[in-house]
Amino acid sequence: MLDLPVIQDRDSAPAATGIEHTGAGRKLYVETYGCQMNLNDSEIVQAIMNEEGYAHTTTPDDADVILLNTCAIRDNAERRIRERLKHLRYYKKRKSSLVVGILGCMAERLRQRLLDQEQLVDLVVGPDEYRRVPALVADAAGGGKGIAVQLSRVETYDDIVPLRTEGISAWVSVMRGCDKFCTFCVVPWTRGRERSRALTSVVEEAGRLWDDGFKELTLLGQNVNSYKDEASAADFPDLLAACAAAVPGMRIRYTTSHPYDMSDKLIETMAAYDNICKYIHLPVQSGSDRILGLMNRKYSVEHYLERMAKIKELMPGCALSTDIITGFPTETEEDHRMTMELMAQVRYDGAFMFKYSPRERTRAWKMGDDVPDEIKTRRLNEVIAQQQEIAAEINQQAIGSTEVALVEGPSKRNPAEWQGRSDTNKVVIFPHNEQSDYVVGDTIRVRIERSTSATLFGEVVAA
């Protein structure tokens, strides 16, 4: 039987804290790992702490409170946090009053174990308990150790305006949790059951973001297809359409939808609105039906390809990306070959590729981890090499075309160049100098002159 996560219902969320402005004059530093939902959660935590008077700092050097918002998706994600904690000892030595907290999925997964194993850690708070962070931090400042890891069926932080510090792109969580129970995945345990925000609240937030100067928003959920507005029974395509219509000048993206319920309605809605970006991340995980069955993904390769065909039919220029796992329990060379074949057939613009990492409590954990690490690595390297070749070929075809890019700012590599992003989510690099007449947040046209597997390069041309 499935080892289901423990969740308690909570009709009304507890007040943020009983203590008034515990953080006045103190500085908070938050470091975020994992997916975009964690990025948005960190903004929610910062908003909650800000209410209590904590100021935001971008470096641990002058922080009074350091919070790591963590990921548990693969073992290496957790190892990274353990390493980071070792480095943070230095700050604690310098300032003994420093409070260190672990938030997020690793906190939810390990709970008390984290407090027992990591002496430096003062508090452990799971994704549905962020309203309690100020009270727990205040306790920790008084020498206490705190833990809050209850999962909720109702918490969506709907009433909290995330404290966004970055410029033009905003993350907006529209649902939380996941009920899919893919057998490899820890998320149903770390994030709990699915629940959605109200449609009106999401649309209002989109309007506010536009008024505040944001140019792009990404609707987030582990499985956005499960979105359901309780009041109106609106589904995810309805929500997407409502946002697109409410802020027609804003680019709208979303992630992640599950291939099992990638509906015609969703594809038609994307096609109907110019401001919904033509880019779909549709994780396939494997090209073998036998492995997909063991993963409990609930679709076949045939269904997946049929969905891809529909997308290409209604949106011929739509970019596609995927997630792949190599070395899932019992994966044979033949299964692996089928994954390579599927990827060659779809020709993805991008892919996130991972070695299978066994996660305690999941169903796959009990299947053993029988593919030796060197075979997992070899298969991973093969899918990566093939994908890079395909992406390079696709991007090569963009040479000579003109892409519309949203200007993000200076490129990371070369100060004489700026970068933007195309509608299809590709990084576009173009020259920048004193004469350049565009600013961050502008939409410009770039004629593509060269490309790599990851990036397009070109010259800015008149609109």
The answer to whether 315 touches 423, Cβ cutoff 8 Å, is no
**Contact by Cβ (8 Å): 348, 308:** no
Q: How many C-beta atoms lie closer than 10 Å to residue 36's C-beta?
A: 15
Q: Under the criterion CB under 6 A, does residue 69 sit at the interface with ligand SF4?
A: no
Q: What is the greatest pairwise CA distance in the chain?
A: 66
CA distances from 238 to 133, 218, 435 (A): 34, 15, 43
Compute how many other C-beta atoms are within 10 angstroms of the C-beta atom of residue 404: 16
* Segment lying near ligand F3S (by CB under 6 A), choices 182-190, 329-337, 365-373, 392-400: 182-190
Residue 74 contacts which entry, ligand SF4, ligand SAH, ligand F3S, none (Cβ below 5-8 A, type-dependent) = ligand SAH
Least CB distance to ligand SAH at residue 325 (A): 5
- The residues facing 19 across adjacent strands are none
Nearest residue to 446 (alpha-carbon basis) of 401, 394, 398, 403: 403
Residues near 98 by beta carbon (within 8 Å), at least 6 away in sequence: 63, 64, 65, 66, 91, 92
Coil/strand/helix, residue 46: helix
* Residue ranges that bind ligand SAH, judged by CB under 6 A: 73-74, 184-185, 222-223, 256, 258, 283, 285, 323, 325, 354, 356-357, 359
Residue 104 or 420: the one with the smaller Cβ distance to ligand F3S is 104
34 binds, among ligand F3S, ligand SAH, ligand SF4, none (CB under 5 to 8 A by kind): ligand F3S
**Least distance from ligand SF4 to the Cβ atom of residue 88, Å:** 29
Q: How far is the CB of 100 from ligand F3S (least distance, A)?
A: 19
Does residue 281 interact with ligand F3S by CB under 6 A?
no
Q: With CB under 6 A as the contact rule, which of the stretches 22-30, 71-79, 149-157, 323-331 interacts with ligand F3S?
A: 71-79
| Cross-strand bridge partners of residue 418 | 410, 430
| Nearest distance in Å: CB 181, ligand SF4 | 6
- The answer to whether residue 39 forms part of the interface with ligand F3S (CB under 6 A) is no
Give yes or no for residue 325 binding ligand F3S (CB under 6 A).
Answer: no
DSSP code for 225:
G
For the chain, the first-to-last Cα distance in angstroms comes to 60
The residue behind tokens 């994780």 is 283
Site string for ligand SF4, 224-263 (x = CB under 6 A): ----------------------------------x-----
Residue number of the CB closest to ligand F3S reads 34
Site residues (CB under 6 A) for ligand F3S?
34-35, 37-38, 71-73, 104-105, 186-187, 190-191
